Amino acid sequence: MTTSRREFISAEEVCDCLRLDLATVYQLAKIGEIPGAIWGETLRFKWEEFEAWFDRYLYDCAEEALKQLEEEGIMMSYVDSEGERRYVLTTRGTLH
């Protein structure tokens, strides 16, 4: 049975996604920061596990950037009636 999705991706592909060097990716996998496993001498990542981790990683990075912009007074946030956090530019953050 074949599937249209790849089951595994290489450490090099993870390096490209994260813009990190190979040694750093190996170290992050070794300490459990990135979900990966070593088969023989090769580090591999299950695509679905990496994709889920990467989605969370991107979300966390975006949240951190938005918090920083809010601390700098460039953006402000509020929670809407459905409980979702929304961000808007302040007058300090507008283009002139």
pLDDT digits (tens, 9 = 90+) for 66-95: 999 999 999 999 999 999 999 999 887 665
Average pLDDT over residues 39-60: 92
Using the predicted structure, report yes or no on whether residue 15 has a pLDDT greater than 90: yes
Q: How far, in Å, CA of 2 to CA of 21, rounded? A: 32
Q: How do the domains of the chain map onto residue ranges?
A: 8-93
Residue 91: the pLDDT is 83
First and final C-alpha spacing in the chain: 58
pTM over 0.85: no
